[in-house]
Chains A and B, each alone.
Chain A
Amino acid sequence: MKIAMIGWEYPPFKAGGLATHCYGLTRSLSDKNVHVDFYMPKTKHSSNNDKSNLKIIEVGETEIFPYDRPDSKEIVGNFYEAVYYYNSLVVSKIEKNINKYGKYDAIHCHDWLTIKAGISLKEKLGIPLVLTIHSTEYDRAGWLYPNQWFIDIEKEGMQKADRVIAVSNFTKKVIVEKYGIDPNKILVVNNAVYPIAEGSKKEIVLFLGRLTIQKGAEFFLRAAQKVKDFEPDAKFVVAGAGDMLPRLINQAIDLGISDRTIFTGRLTEEEVKHIYSISSVYVMPSVSEPFGITALEAISAGTPTIASKTAGFSEAFKNCLRVDFWDTDEMANKIVSLLRYNPLHKTLADEGKREIDLFTWDSVADKTIDIYKGVT
């Protein structure tokens, strides 16, 4: 079986869970004797690959940050142009490769940014199209002022794809209800994780993610303030970069917790692993979260996790704590409980690590292969 997969990020270049997903999926597919050509925009870093069935093919010259929410008209114009340009380059590159090496059994796209290319290949060459939705425009906008331009592209892709893969039932529901897609062609495949080693735990409460409305870091800070008086030694780490960083720093000052809150900025992969490994509590207070791979990463490192109730992760994972993202009292109650009650911390860490074993890329690949077989 031969698949053309179109993405836009791949480790070490990484802005979000999509890169992690594509990395795990393509490697496990290639172990299962599926030939994957992974197309992505050119980056400054070269992607590492040691799998013989897997080829990383970089296209064009632009780096695109699809999670950025363009504000000014000018940037928006450039941004859209860059996306169209990337898609058209991908189409011609794939056509060229087909002429040279033969046809693909299926095209597999990830999220809105690659949809145009997928549709045009399907329409021109009649190759079946599979589309994975890692997040929708509604998620990225935190359900406030979603951009119709993105929604239209997403909708067209979902309609034209032969199968849509949703990363959770939560996302499947959004695809059915907000995009009007037939539920029978949507399959849920949860994300997975390559486990991270556990380190020696410090009294650190961690937030890790893009600092955008979607990820809810402001609620983390409000909970931190409530924890402060109860756990005087606790430190709060906000790891990640994003357009909300200045506002969050001001918020921490206003809340009187700037002396115990650390803003790390963007971390390298090694630093990310380290901070997971030494944190005692991970909080994922996302306003909207189709899945939330970071929760799996934290738990694999022995860090109990408090996740937003609406996150796809918390519907799929038993051994975690769940809160409403806006309920910072309850979030604080759970943070304090985890810091204070060792048996709770230990049981969640142990049971969580056991459950993590169910979330392997190997099984994601198996499910994805079944879906390929259904369309070819």
Chain B
Amino acid sequence: MTSVCMYFEVHQPMRLNKFSVFNIGKEDSHSEYFNRKLNEQIFTKVAKKCYIPTNNLLLELIRKHDGNFRVSFSLTGTFVEYCQEFMPEVLDSFKKLFRTGSVDMMEETYYHSLSSLYDEMDEFEDQVKIHRQMIKNIFNYKPRVFRNTEAIYDNRIAKKVADMGYKGILTEGTEKILGWRSPNFLYKPTNADIKVLLRNYNLSDDVGFRFSAQMWKGWPLTADKYANWMSQIQGDIINLFMDYETFGEHQWTETGIFDFLRHLPGEVLKHDHMDFVTASTAVEKYDAVGEIDVPWAISWADEDRDVSTWLGNDMQLACFNELKDIGRKIKEKKDTELLATWRKLQTSDHLYYCSTKGLADGDVHAYFSPYDGPYDGFINYMNILQDLKQKIQTF
């Protein structure tokens, strides 16, 4: 049997207001860090193009296939806050999906942060617990599989996540850690007792990145063609991990992405040796076939599949260090309001916008960024961090 495990990241960052050096140190400016209007605008736009139609389609497909079509999600805390604030019906439709029993919820840091890369793991643990509480409140469920921000993973993170009681963790199926081995099996870290699900990046990116690329030899990608490719794969599990916004947002309706999704379950289930599993089921059903050793952090981002997307240049490192430093000070002061603000500023997107990677990756960065380039992103973010720093000193 070969199982297909589809997992979707559902995330929206809290984009920042324009904040110049002249705003630093002004009273009450920290309530104006976040650009509520822009965030609402983007959220409602993406909800209409992606979240609502795709949720509806998934619900229809799960019913049509009597629960044999299964998917997994991770919802970030910032995303859920947007739902609650701007469009509660989006969250309702996720609840409806979850109640079918064919949908799994995964854990992550509430703020979609890089806290797993801090010197100490306490902030990471706190943010995971906040997320855990949120999932419990909304779905009355305790996730068993963990997925870190953009699939960032190393031995230390795996150990910590295992210690926190999770049965599985996912990351990128890159040759860097696999060598000649196949991503289509479960593995375990050398240093911890937890199963690792590895993203099949070729098949995942066929949908996530290449679906509408007419230059690609696989174009046009149809559900039966894709299911056929998968049916020829030797292995226990094919992990298709992607942004949920692939459906209707990165790939517009006109590309045929919804038709593709509509026919995919049927085409996969036509093959007798294939089924769909959730991430939780996958780690119960399959054994780890080998060990992976990941001393340096990897991720699913960019061509480099490491953390250089967020920490690749001096500006990003400066912000990251400033962020950590501010955190230490806030925790000493035990100020809950500033703590909440600091946590929202930890969302990895803020650092992502400061990336100066060129060429192909740079285009992706520009597509997602609300700024005119990485330098404007840095100036704005750094100004806000400086303001927050001053706030701590004056409190």
Contact = CB atoms under 8 A, between A and B. Distances in A.
B21 A340 contact: yes
B318 A341 contact: yes
Contacts of B314: 342-343, 346-347
A230 B313 CA distance: 26
Dominant SS among interface residues on chain A: helix
Interface stretch (B38-46, B153-161, B372-380): B372-380
Dominant SS among interface residues on chain B: helix
A253 interface: no
Interface in A330-366: 330, 332-334, 336-337, 340-344, 346-348, 351
Most chain A CB within a 10 A radius of its CB, from B21, B22, B317: B21
B315 interface: yes
Given A333-B21, A336-B21, A344 B373 contact: no
Interface residues of A, number: 23
Contacts of A321: 375-376
Nearest to B23: A333
Given A318-B373, A347-B356, A351-B356, A330 B378 contact: no
B376 A343 contact: no
B357 to A, nearest CB: 10
Given A321-B376, A337-B383, A343 B20 contact: no
B124 to A, nearest CB: 25
Contacts of A333: 20-22, 379, 383
A319 interface: yes
A344 B356 CA distance: 11
A74 to B, nearest CB: 48
A116 interface: no
A331 B377 CA distance: 15
A250 to B, nearest CB: 26
Interface string B300-318: 0000000000000111011
Contacts of A334: 379
A106 to B, nearest CB: 36
A230 B22 CA distance: 9
B276 to A, nearest CB: 43
Contacts, number: 57
B279 interface: no
B318 A343 contact: yes
A37 B383 CA distance: 55
Contact of A341 (B356, B358, B373, B378): B378
B379 A341 contact: yes
Given A337-B382, A351-B356, A344 B21 contact: no
Nearest to B313: A347
Contacts of B21: 230, 332-333, 336-337, 340
Contacts of B375: 319-321, 344, 347-348
A372 to B, nearest CB: 31
Contact of B20 (A322, A330, A344): A330
A329 interface: yes
Contacts of A332: 21-22
Contacts of A351: 356
Nearest to A309: B372
B275 to A, nearest CB: 47
Given A330-B20, A333-B22, A337-B21, A344 B382 contact: yes
A343 B382 CA distance: 11
A-B CB proximity, top 5 nearest: A343-B314, A333-B20, A343-B318, A337-B379, A336-B21
28 contacts: A230-B21, A230-B22, A318-B362, A319-B375, A321-B376, A322-B372, A330-B20, A332-B22, A333-B21, A333-B22, A336-B21, A337-B379, A337-B382, A340-B21, A341-B315, A341-B318, A341-B378, A341-B382, A343-B313, A344-B315, A344-B375, A344-B382, A346-B314, A347-B313, A347-B314, A347-B356, A347-B378, A348-B375
Interface of B: 20-22, 313-315, 317-318, 356, 358, 362, 372-373, 375-376, 378-379, 382-383
Given A226-B22, A337-B382, A344-B382, 4 more contacts: A318-B373, A322-B373, A336-B21, A347-B378
